[in-house]
Chain A
Amino acid sequence: MNLSQEYHDNLQRVRDCTNFKHVDRIIHLSNFYTWKILDSDRHVKLSEAMTSYETLELIQREFQEKYKFDVHMDLNTRNLILPSQAMGTGSHIMIDDVNESINFYDHVLMGQDEYPDYKNHRAEMNWKMFNRKYPNLDKRHFLDAFIKQQEASAFSGYMGRMMVEDYACLGVYDTDVAGGSVQVPFERFPKYYRGIKEISFDMRRKKSDMLDCLDYIQENEIIPGLKKTLAEMEGKEQLYMADFMIAMLAHGTISQKQWDIFYWPYLKEYLDLIVAAGKTVVIYLENSIMRFAEYFQDYPKGHIIMILELDDLVELRKKLPNICFAGGMTAALLGNGTPEQCVDRVKYLANELGDGFILSQDKMMAFRNDCRRENLEAVCEYVNNFRW
């Protein structure tokens, strides 16, 4: 990749911010997803945009040229639907052009007694779940989906390079590194296979089977993968906002007792390895982390960036003076407030949080009323002209 001086300057600014060093201006991270399509003057339907890589690229470019963010969580590359559509009937994505929304059918893909099979017979189990999710899946559909997935991956890679080379925008982490984004083993069960309701039963009724499975995943997949990635990174310069990313959602439904058993030991092992290697990690947090803030207090500054959703950043800062925060601008305000109120919110956050703060939105901005264009324009104008 051809990295400009501007890119290196942006990279240094983010590194300094992560390390709580004073930076010259407010770093602005985009948490905008499909709202970008709705905001576009191209006036394309969601269903049309989501199936056209050319349109997605143009919209992403125009969005960046207009608002000038420093980092993007999404490059119009999330939920690329063509591979899923190619899997045949039963596709679980619903695009509603009238209400301008994307929804998903809920599937419980794995039975409560199948934890041992997931652990011991993964390939067979994956095929079973494929067929439960896509009941009419056959070889032709699968091959077609495989090709579409290759195309989607190529598009994602292209978009990442394009944002770096044409706009000096930082990637969040290196998406070409296989172990760059990892989830705690527990996450995959409520998120993908069992659902929140079923997992609530499993933690009590199938505790032993679950823990066997989580241990197996951690010991045989997560930790070896992480160690391999760390070895590959040795001696190489970090060229992204962080070296790793971890997404957390399932913590939002479990008790502290369950967190201590099913979640934290696995996450801690992961974070300890990253910090010991001198690397950085972005933790993308849905829901709130306030209940578990104490668990992160001992990590030194400069290694963890939390992207926050429901937490009050100023309150959380009292518990976590060691973690760089991203967030603070609410969708409630962007969607319903005035430009003046939104700018006042930026001033408040910058004054209260100072160093170790990246401005971002508190939701994955997806729906039209999540944000008014004039509010985002006012925020971006203020941020882009602001200097400490």
Chain B
Amino acid sequence: MVSMEALAEAMGELEEDTVVELLEQVMEEGGKQAQEAMDACQKGMDIVGSYFEEGEYFVSDLIFAGDLMSQAVGILKDALISGDGKEGPQTSLILCTVQNDLHDIGKNIVRSMLEAGGFHVIDLGIDVAPGTIVDKVKETDVKIVLLSGVLTLAINSMKATVEALKEAGLRDYCHVLIGGAPVSAEYCEVVGADAWAHNPQTTVQYCKEWAAVS
């Protein structure tokens, strides 16, 4: 039997060899602990988030943590698919890098942290036009839209997206957060978003608050 406490700790400390070894042991033992192991990995990601908030970890650690989490899902996926561990309904949200911006590292970090936090992330990718986002909001009925960008050029696209949501009559039903290096309280006002964030933990916190009232 694999110690889930040890697994969560190894994930939190980003000890890749230990995490992989413990997860492979779960699978070698028939995969019965797969859901438990997944939960332990998510607990480890919470530790990663805490370290980030404390300043111990930074962006590169979050990138590594995201990759380690993907590895964990890859190792456990067969057992998770066939297992009967049922999770409750997840809150879905839309995440993308806005039109005219091709940067995806920040977006992908946020995605990892949101997934570890129990959200279902509909990732529309990079360089996403306002119309595409509006269509997806209509199709999925999500109540949270996260817009990422690195260039100041992205601010225009964020603003255009919020305006497109307004025109489609969706703005009042959606929370919109903008994230990335250029965003600020000033730009948040210019864009007409509900919130802004430079780091994924703040983003996850906002999403949890909004999910609770949706």
Enumerate chain A interface residues (CB-CB to B < 8 A).
Answer: 96, 99, 101, 103, 106, 196-197, 199-201, 203-205, 252-258, 287, 291, 310, 330-333, 335-336, 363, 366-367, 369-370
Contacts and interface: CB of A to CB of B under 8 A. Distances in A.
Contact of B64 (A201, A333, A363): A201
B206 interface: no
B181 interface: yes
Given A258-B60, A366-B151, A369-B152, 8 more contacts: A197-B105, A204-B16, A254-B58, A255-B58, A332-B186, A336-B187, A366-B152, A366-B153
Contact of A367 (B16, B60, B102, B152): B152
Contact of B184 (A106, A258, A332): A332
B55 A253 contact: no
A34 B153 CA distance: 12
Interface of B: 14, 16, 55-61, 63-64, 67, 100, 102, 105, 108, 151-153, 155-156, 181-182, 184, 186-187, 190
Contacts of B60: 196, 199-200, 203, 253-255, 258
Given A255-B58, A369-B155, A205 B16 contact: yes
A99 B14 CA distance: 41
A380 to B, nearest CB: 20
Contact of A252 (B59, B100, B156): B59
For B64, B100, B152, B187, the residue with the greatest tally of chain A CB atoms inside 10 Å of its CB is B152
A101 B151 contact: yes
Contact of B63 (A96, A103, A196): A196
B186 A204 contact: no
For A101, A106, A254, A332, the residue with the greatest tally of chain B CB atoms inside 10 Å of its CB is A332
B186 A255 contact: no
Nearest to A100: B153
A197 B61 CA distance: 10
B186 A336 contact: yes
Contacts of B155: 335, 369
A287 B181 contact: yes
Contacts of A255: 56-58, 60-61
Contacts of B61: 200, 255
Contacts of A204: 14, 16, 64
Contact of A99 (B100, B105, B108, B152): B100
A258 B58 CA distance: 9
A331 to B, nearest CB: 5
9 contacts: A99-B153, A201-B63, A204-B16, A253-B59, A255-B58, A256-B55, A335-B152, A336-B187, A366-B153
B156 A369 contact: yes
B190 A370 contact: no
For B14, B59, B60, B63, the residue with the greatest tally of chain A CB atoms inside 10 Å of its CB is B60
B183 to A, nearest CB: 9
Contact of B153 (A252, A254, A367): A367
Nearest to A309: B181
B201 to A, nearest CB: 15
A204 B14 CA distance: 9
Nearest to B127: A103
A329 to B, nearest CB: 13
Contacts of A197: 63, 105, 108
A291 B55 contact: yes
In the A-B complex, the 10 residue pairs with the closest CB atoms: A200-B60, A200-B63, A255-B58, A253-B59, A332-B186, A367-B153, A336-B190, A253-B60, A99-B100, A200-B64
A366 B155 CA distance: 13
A254 B152 CA distance: 23
Contacts of A205: 16
Nearest to B51: A255
A199 B102 CA distance: 19
Contacts of B63: 196-197, 200-201, 253
Contacts of A201: 63-64, 67
A291 B58 CA distance: 11
Contacts of B181: 287, 310
